[in-house]
């Protein structure tokens, strides 16, 4: 079992039933944190994450909420704090990617993406901050994307939301520093969450210099570092995690 560098800390991970969120939740628990596994519409993935954590003796719970709705976020955070004893770490990960063309986006679709990917992050932060202020300590980790900087041809609104997350992190780092709360952002590149085509399994080094795409475990290890006491002087940073693919 990995060294328990986060022993006794409580973490809330949004969108932890699948992909990157699942990987982060499991690794936080493996390192000793008590983990709240958030999901929205289906509990199947969250239950699977919970079972994986319990297999190695980790302590966790599942929590449901629509992160686009403030009242549901408040209820979720209050439940986590009551059950697990406060909130030390927030990982904002839940996101919506519709892959809709620039001209095809409707106002409703735009609002859905922004309300989850950006407003949802903002409101989750607002909900946990009172608990973090009480102890003059907190770690907020935001999952953005390289597409917050590099435009795509498949989902402009998703990219806009991911760019906004970076600035949300920078502004929040300034405002929350006085309370001992750090805010940092991870911008992953291509991460294999089980949805890639077979062509991505052995990608070209012309596009992926390390010869592979990322894994949820890659993001999880960085998230755990940012959640630890080793990063007390790091705040307002955005770390690109893409195996150098952005450099090509």
**Span 52-77, pLDDT tens digits:** 999 999 999 999 999 999 999 999 99
Q: What is the pLDDT of residues 171-189, one digit of tens each?
A: 999 999 999 999 999 999 9
Q: How confident is the model at residue 151, as a pLDDT?
A: 84
Tokens read off for 107: 């106002």
Q: How confident is the model at residue 196, as a pLDDT?
A: 62
Please name the residues in contact with 130: beta carbons below 8 A apart, sequence gap of 6 or more.
none
pTM: 0.95
Nearest to 235 by CA among 162, 165, 180: 180
Instruction: State the chain's mean pLDDT as an integer.
Output: 94
Rounded average pLDDT over 128-153: 94
Q: What is the DSSP letter of 237?
A: -
The three state secondary structure string of 114-157 is HHHHCHHHHHHHHHHHHHHHHHCCEEEEEECCHHHCCCCCCCHH
Q: How confident is the model at residue 1, as a pLDDT?
A: 42
Q: How confident is the model at residue 98, as a pLDDT?
A: 96
Q: How far apart are CA 33 and CA 88, in angstroms?
A: 9
CATH number of 10-247: 3.40.50.720
> Is a pLDDT exceeding 90 seen at residue 146?
yes
Run of H or E including 77: helix 70-84
Please say whether the beta carbons of 17 and 43 come within 8 A: yes
Q: How confident is the model at residue 42, as a pLDDT?
A: 87
User: What are the CA-CA distances from residue 5 to residues 24, 30, 204, 221, 225 (Å)?
Assistant: 14, 9, 36, 12, 9
Q: Residue 110 catalytic? A: no
Q: What is the pLDDT of residues 123-136, one digit of tens each?
A: 999 999 999 999 99
The pairing of strands 138-143 and 181-188 is parallel
> Is a pLDDT exceeding 90 seen at residue 86?
yes
Nearest to 223 by CA among 71, 37, 62, 89: 89
Nearest to 172 by CA among 135, 137, 131, 142: 142
Please say whether the beta carbons of 91 and 141 come within 8 A: yes
Percentage of the chain beyond pLDDT 90 is: 88
Please name the residues in contact with 25: beta carbons below 8 A apart, sequence gap of 6 or more.
11, 13, 16, 35, 37, 49, 53, 60, 91
> Is a pLDDT exceeding 80 seen at residue 4?
no
Q: How far apart are CA 56 and CA 33, in angstroms?
A: 13
Which of 105, 121, 158, 225 is the catalytic position?
158
Q: Percent helix, strand, coil in the chain (nearest 5)?
A: 45, 15, 40
Instruction: Tell me the sheet residues that pair with 187.
Output: 240
Q: What is the pLDDT of residues 7-19, one digit of tens each?
A: 999 999 999 999 9
Please say whether the beta carbons of 214 and 19 come within 8 A: no
């Amino acid at each position: 079992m990995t060294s328990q560098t986060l022993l006794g800390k409580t973490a809330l991970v949004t969108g932890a039933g699948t992909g990157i969120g699942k990987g982060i939740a499991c690794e936080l628990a493996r390192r000793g944190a008590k983990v709240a596994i958030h999901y929205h519409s289906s509990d199947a993935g969250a239950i699977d994450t919970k079972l994986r954590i319990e297999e190695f003796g980790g302590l966790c719970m599942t929590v449901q909420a629509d992160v686009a709705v403030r009242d549901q976020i408040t209820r979720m955070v209050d439940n986590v704090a009551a059950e697990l004893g406060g909130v030390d770490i927030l990982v904002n990960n839940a996101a919506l990617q519709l892959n809709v063309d620039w001209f095809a986006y409707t106002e409703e679709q735009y609002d859905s993406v922004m309300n989850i990917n950006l407003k949802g992050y903002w409101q989750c932060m607002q909900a946990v901050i009172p608990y973090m202020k009480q102890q003059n300590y907190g770690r907020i980790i935001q999952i953005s994307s390289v597409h917050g900087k590099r435009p795509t041809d498949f989902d402009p609104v998703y990219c806009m939301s991911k760019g906004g997350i970076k600035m949300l992190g920078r502004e929040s780092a300034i405002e929350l520093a006085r309370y001992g709360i750090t805010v940092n952002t991870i911008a992953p590149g291509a991460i294999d969450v089980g949805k890639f085509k077979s062509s991505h399994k052995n990608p070209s080094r012309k596009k992926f210099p390390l010869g592979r795409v990322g894994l949820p475990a890659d993001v999880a290890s960085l998230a755990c570092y940012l959640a630890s006491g080793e990063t007390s002087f790091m705040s307002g940073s955005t770390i690109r995690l893409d195996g150098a693919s952005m450099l090509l």
